[in-house]
Amino acid sequence: MAIFVDQNTKVIVQGLTGGQGKYHGLRNKAYGTQVVAGVTPGKGGTDVEGIPVYNSVKEAVAATGATASFVTVPPKAASAAILEAAEAGITFIVCITEGIPAQDEARTYNTLVRSYPKVRLLGPNCPGIISPGKCNIGITAGEIAELPSASGPNVGIVSRSGTLTYQALYELKQRGIGVSTCVGIGGDPVPGTSFIDCLREFQNDPETHAIIMIGEIGGSAEEEAADFIKANVTKPMSAYIAGVTAPAGKKMGHAGAIVSGGKGTAQGKMDALRAAGVKVGQNPTEAGSLMADIVAGLR
């Protein structure tokens, strides 16, 4: 099994005719993902290397039965694209777009919660999701993800950082450890999917036997996740928190990665996770090594 997406997931790419949409959409298809259509207003009736393009998501869904969308459009159009997908019946939306104003993100997120409660948004500003060997939606390189094994143990990954998502995948691949699903939730202030959402799914997934969590400074998501772990997660975990040396008041990469008012520090997050029973590494490689030790104990 896997969480959120698998080999049966049919995907449309909003913005398939653009540079980023075409590049990553075709890479996803080459990985084996069922990329069944693209959407670009005004370009319906054309195709991108055999993938049909429609003028609207509604038309694409009606023609293909797609349930997932990969949003690759610029910041000004991203919120409208997300809501168009939800209105058309898409239930899983991955948005990689960076630079969407936080006010727009908040408005879009609350509209989804209020009007489309069955729709899950991943992102914005995220690398996407990969269930190795089954489905890859986003910008993650499929070759760095180790396939899960039938007997396990397999590891689930959830991360705020795109780059560290890739490193976590590769740390496990170098050790021959299979991955059930890897989810990059993104580092913007208003993510559509949280650590807790993913941890809940991994806890309930029989193919996931252990979990790696990658966090960073800013906000309280990691502390909230720690509380959830303590109360609900029985599977062993390792973690890494980026930004130990980040100065207070300075944004570090992501819009949500900023320490203000003494809150959101790396040390506070690490302490909370350790208190919840999570093994916390001082760097990404150590988090991978800790997971390797965990997996060795499960075999």
**Residues annotated as catalytic (active site), given as ranges:** 254
How many C-beta atoms surround the C-beta of residue 80 within 10 A? Answer: 13
CA gap 173, 224 in Å, rounded: 29
How many C-beta atoms surround the C-beta of residue 185 within 10 A? Answer: 26
CA dihedral 57, 60, 61, 65 (to 10 degrees): -150
Contact 64/48 with Cβ under 8 angstroms? no
Tokens of 90: 């898409």
Tokens of 136: 């890859």
Contact 13/25 with Cβ under 8 angstroms? yes
Ordered strands of the 10-14 beta sheet:
47-48, 51-54, 34-39, 10-14, 68-71, 92-95, 120-122
Tokens of 142: 């499929």
CA gap 89, 65 in Å, rounded: 9
Phi, psi of 163 (to 5 degrees): -60, -40
Angle at 208 between CA 205 and CA 210, to 5 degrees: 130
CA gap 15, 292 in Å, rounded: 39
For β-strands 178-184 and 237-242, DSSP reports them as unpaired
Contact 298/209 with Cβ under 8 angstroms? yes
Contact 87/72 with Cβ under 8 angstroms? no
